[in-house]
Amino acid sequence: MKTPSYRVEAGGGLRGTIVIPGDKSVSHRSVLLGAIAEGTTEVEGFLESEDCLATLNAMRNMGVSVERPAPGRVVVDGVGLGGLAAPTAALDMGNAGTAMRLSMGLLAGQRFDSTLTGDASLTRRPMERAAMPLRLMGARIETTGGRPPVSIRGGGALTAIDYDLTVPSAQVKSAILIAGLYAAGETKITEHAVTRDHTERMLRAFGADVRTHNGVVAIAGGQRLHGTRLRVPGDISSAAFFIVAATLAAEGAFVIEDVGVNPTRTGVLEILKLMGADIRLTNERRFGDEPVADLVVKKSALRGIEVPRALVPLAIDEFPVLFVAAAAAAGVTVVSGAAELRVKESDRIAVMATGLHALGIEADPRPDGMRIVGGRLGGGTVDSHGDHRIAMAFAVAALKAHDRIDIHDVANVATSFPGFPALARGAGIAIDELR
C-alpha cells in the first residue's frame, strides 16, 4: 500500500503571522487528569491530533464522558480518582508514547485489569523505564519484551516511593506522579536534569498539592482533583519547524502567536540563539499556569556550535529540525548526551543522518548524538520512516536546498500536527502532499 509523501520545491521565503496548534503534552494531560477529577473540566485549544485523540478515546472507553462541542474545545465530565470503569478491550494508544506511559501510571492504581497497545511504531518503543518504578510502588505490570502491549493487573495497593530519576524523562516522572495519587504516603522523585513540568503545573491547576524543591518533586497520595478550565498554549515543538524555517528564510519579521514558552521546553530557542538566530519574545503572558508569548523571528546567518548538554533534555523533541539548522549553518555542530533520540518514533539519529547524507551534508551519527558539517543542501529523496518530526524537518530543509526534496512515509504527521502542509504552504514553503 502506497503511503503519503511530500514534494517540496527548493527555495521560498516565510512571511506573515501564524498560529500553531495546541501543545500536545498539555492536551494529553488535560484529558487524562480531567477524567479523574471531580466535576467538569473545559479545555480550549485542545490539539485534535491522532495522538491526543487516542488519549481522549481511552478515557471514553473507561466510562468517562468526553464531548467535543467545537473545534479545539473539549468538555470532560470527571469521575474522580476511583470512578474509572474497566475497558471492554485493549486501550489502543496509536502512536502516542506519552499517552501510553502516563496511562500506565493511571492504570496502576485501578481496581480492574487493563491492557495498553498501539501501532507498529509504538510497539517498538521501550516501556520498562516507566514500568520499573511503578512496580516498586506495588503495581503489577508486564511488558512484552520491554515493549507494548503492556498488561496491568488491578486491585493491588500502591505505596509511595522515593525514586531517583537517573535518565531524564518527563513521561516517566509523570507516570510516577499520577500513580502517586493512588499510593499510600508521599511519593518523591529526584531529578538530576530538568525535564518538562507540565504534569506538576496541571496537577496544581486541578487543586493538588505538588511540591518542588532542589530537584525533588513530591506528591501525597489520596488527593482529590477538581474540575477546572484550561487553555492550551501553542506547541513549541510544532512551532520549532517554523522558527527554524524563518531563521533560514524569513522575508522580514515572521510572527508565531500564542506559543507556550514553559522554561522546561525552551531549549530549542536557547540553542538557536547560540547559533546566531534572531528570536524575540513579545506579548508575554499566561494561559493558566503556563507561560505564553508571541515569537518574532528574523532571517539570520547561523553558525555551528557544540550544543550544551544541559540544554539537550529541554529540546529533545526538536532535534530533527535543529539538525537541519546545523546543516544550513556555517561550521560544525556537535550534539551529545541525546541517546534518547535513538528510541523515539524512529531512531532519529540514524534516520536524520541518512537523510542529510542524501542531501549532500556530512553528518556523523554517534551513539548519543551527531556531528554535522554545515554545507550546501542539495535535493533528493529521503525516507522519514514514519516519524512525523523527521518528515516536517526535511520539509523545512527545502528552503535552503538547491533542488526539490521528496519525503516518503509522512502519514504520521497527523499524530502531532494536523494541517501542517496547508499551514506551511500558507507561510511560504512550496509543499504538496501526494497520496
For 381-433, the pLDDT digits (tens) are: 999 999 999 999 999 999 999 999 999 999 999 989 999 999 999 999 999 99
Instruction: Note the pLDDT of residue 1.
Output: 54
- CA dihedral angle for residue 417, residue 420, residue 426, residue 432, rounded to 10 degrees: 180
Q: Considering the chain, what is the average pLDDT of its residues?
A: 97
Range of the domain at 415: 5-22+233-434
Residues 53 and 197 in one domain: yes
Residues 264 and 377 in one domain: yes
- How many domains would you assign to the chain? 2
Who contacts 60 (Cβ-Cβ below 8 Å, separation ≥6)?
A: 66
Counting residues of the chain whose pLDDT is more than 70, the rounded percentage is: 100
Indicate the residue type of 340: E
Residues 106 and 13 in one domain: no
Residues 208 and 176 in one domain: yes
Q: What is the helix (H) or strand (E) element at residue 129, kind and residue range?
A: helix 128-136
41 burial (CB, 10 Å; 0-12 / 13-18 / 19+) is buried
Query: Active site includes 317?
Result: yes
**Catalytic: which of 317, 383, 387, 409?**
317
Whether the per-residue pLDDT at 158 is higher than 70: the answer is: yes
Instruction: Note the pLDDT of residue 358.
Output: 98
- CATH value at residue 251: 3.65.10.10
How far apart CA 290 and CA 264 sit, in angstroms, is 11
Residues 76 and 205 in one domain: yes
Taking a C-beta distance cutoff of 8 angstroms, is the pair 188, 218 a contact? yes
Residues 16 and 46 in one domain: no
Encode pLDDT of 374-387 as tens digits.
999 999 999 999 99
Neighbours of 207 (CB within 10 A): 14
Encode pLDDT of 340-372 as tens digits.
999 999 999 999 999 999 999 999 999 999 999
Residues 329 and 423 in one domain: yes
Of 198, 231, 264, which marks where a domain is finished?
Answer: 231
360 burial (CB, 10 Å; 0-12 / 13-18 / 19+) is middle
Of 231, 264, 279, which marks where a domain is finished?
Answer: 231
How far apart CA 308 and CA 310 sit, in angstroms, is 5
Residues 94 and 108 in one domain: yes
Of 231, 256, 280, which marks where a domain is finished?
Answer: 231
Residues 200 and 283 in one domain: no
Encode pLDDT of 199-241 as tens digits.
999 999 999 999 999 999 999 999 999 999 999 999 999 999 9
How would you label 72-111 residue by residue, b for 16+ Cβ within 10 Å and e otherwise? eebbbbbbebeebeebeebbbbbbbbbbbbbbbbbbbbbe
Instruction: Note the pLDDT of residue 435.
Output: 86
Instruction: Note the pLDDT of residue 421.
Output: 97
The backbone region for 225, taken as left when phi is positive above 0, alpha when psi lies in -120 to 50, beta otherwise, is beta
Q: What are phi and psi of 142, to 5 degrees?
A: -125, 130
Residues 268 and 225 in one domain: no
pLDDT classification of 3: cutoffs 50, 70, 90: confident
The strand pairing partners of 303, in sequence order, are 330
Which three cell numbers, joined as nine digits, stand for 182? 493512588
Nearest to 251, CA basis, from 83, 2, 17? 17
Instruction: Note the pLDDT of residue 27.
Output: 97
Query: What average pLDDT does the segment 319-344 reach?
Result: 97
- Secondary structure (3-state) at 135: helix
pLDDT classification of 48: cutoffs 50, 70, 90: very high
Residues 190 and 310 in one domain: no
Residues 304 and 398 in one domain: yes
Instruction: Note the pLDDT of residue 84.
Output: 98
Cis peptide bond prior to 149, omega within 30° of 0:
yes
Encode pLDDT of 19-40 as tens digits.
999 999 999 999 999 999 999 9
Encode pLDDT of 69-112 as tens digits.
999 999 999 999 999 999 999 999 999 999 999 999 999 999 99
The strand pairing partners of 76, in sequence order, are 41, 66
